[in-house]
Amino acid sequence: MGDYRRIADRIADDIASGRLKPGQRLPPQRAFARRRGIASSTAGRVYSELVRRGLVVGEVGRGTYVRATPDGPAGRALAEPGRADAPVNLELNYPSAPGQPELLAPVLAPLLRPDALAEALLPAAATGTEPAREAAATLLATPGWRPAPDRLLFTGNARQAIAAVLASLVRPGGRVGVEQLTYPLVKEIAARLGITLVPLAGDAAGLLPEAVAAAHRTAPLSALYVQPTLHNPTSLTTSRARLLQLAQLIHDLDLPVVEDRIWSFLHEPGDPLAAHAPALTHVVDGLSKRVAPGLTVGFLVVPPHRAGAVADAVRSGGWSAGA
């Protein structure tokens, strides 16, 4: 397992020395693996490690590029986040509440009882327990929509929920429509799953239905990933009229949808897309924004006929919720 880090170290040295320059494209992972005589999976770990270190950036459909040397102009900008020209990392964002530990401590204390802890430490299935499903359904409900508890599944966090539902919907090589500026981590998930993301145009009211229809005519989309409420990173919320138009189009195209509602709790109550297209929409949500990024669970509300397939994806991907 440490071999990939040693290879990443050598690439990092090449970047630091200037042998690899900012903006230079690295070879595709398969070509990199062949040249180094390593497995494709190891090459993937090398590239992921370089991304984690902030040395390269991967762009779906374009490749992986050297980001900057630590002592170069771009590298200094990364190290000085207060600078106006510093790149902005849009991947990780979460609210920070004053007194959060003090608020959480009494809530978590009952879990330390031996009887409660013994139950919490048992293996957790994607379907969770009946009380957990009821609690999650109540948490996710809006004035006009409450998910049926038997359609709820649990993952370790919302990002795992996105990965699981995409893995269950899209075969490698499949196409998934996304907003032109989409949640950055979805690009990485799609790359790992061999999925092609198709950017779709939108306006101030949200994703344009005609853009979805045109992309689907060009080559069928396997699914659509959207953040209709407080979109990351634009903060746009889709209008109700546009949401209804999208719901009708989804019905007409019989197109599965992944609706990411991770920030919806901060917006005035409004029905999700799932309320208007329940047979095709998979809702993703979680606790990382509501509670704390390190104390979380992911929620999936799935169409009734897809519960088994998505649960299998959660299990096989190792995305089940922990204790």
d(Cα 119, Cα 323) in Å, to the nearest integer?
9
Name the 3-class secondary structure at 285.
strand
Q: Is the peptide bond before 220 cis (omega within 30 degrees of 0)?
A: no
Q: Do 231 and 273 contact (CB within 8 A), yes or no?
A: no
Class of domain 3-79: mainly alpha
Residue 250 has pLDDT above 50, yes or no: yes
pLDDT of residue 78: 44
110-316 classified as CATH 3.40.640.10? yes
Rounded average pLDDT over 9-15: 90
Range list of β-strands (E), the chain? 56-59, 63-66, 152-155, 175-179, 196-200, 202-203, 206-207, 223-226, 257-260, 281-286, 298-301
88 versus 5: the higher-pLDDT residue is: 5
d(Cα 244, Cα 152) in Å, to the nearest integer?
24
d(Cα 69, Cα 20) in Å, to the nearest integer?
9
d(Cα 105, Cα 107) in Å, to the nearest integer?
5
* Residue ranges covered by each domain of the chain: 3-79, 110-316
Q: Do 195 and 170 contact (CB within 8 A), yes or no?
A: yes
Q: Do 258 and 165 contact (CB within 8 A), yes or no?
A: yes
**CA distances (Å), origin 262, targets 93, 94, 118:** 11, 10, 30
pLDDT of residue 76: 46
Name the 3-class secondary structure at 91.
coil
Q: Do 282 and 205 contact (CB within 8 A), yes or no?
A: no
Residue 159 has pLDDT above 60, yes or no: yes
Residue 209 has pLDDT above 50, yes or no: yes
74 burial level (CB within 10 Å; 0-12, 13-18, 19+):
middle
Nearest to 159 by CA among 243, 94, 71: 94
Where residue 269 falls among pLDDT bands split at 50, 70, 90? confident
Q: Do 306 and 269 contact (CB within 8 A), yes or no?
A: no
d(Cα 253, Cα 259) in Å, to the nearest integer?
17
Q: Do 105 and 290 contact (CB within 8 A), yes or no?
A: no
126 burial level (CB within 10 Å; 0-12, 13-18, 19+):
buried
Rounded average pLDDT over 108-120: 79
Residue 106 has pLDDT above 90, yes or no: no
Give the tens place of pLDDT for each residue, 32-72. Answer: 999 999 998 899 899 888 988 888 887 656 678 887 554 55
13 versus 76: the higher-pLDDT residue is: 13
pLDDT of residue 267: 87
The residues, ordered by sequence, that sit 6+ positions from 216 with a Cβ below 8 Å of its Cβ are 177, 253, 255
d(Cα 140, Cα 212) in Å, to the nearest integer?
27
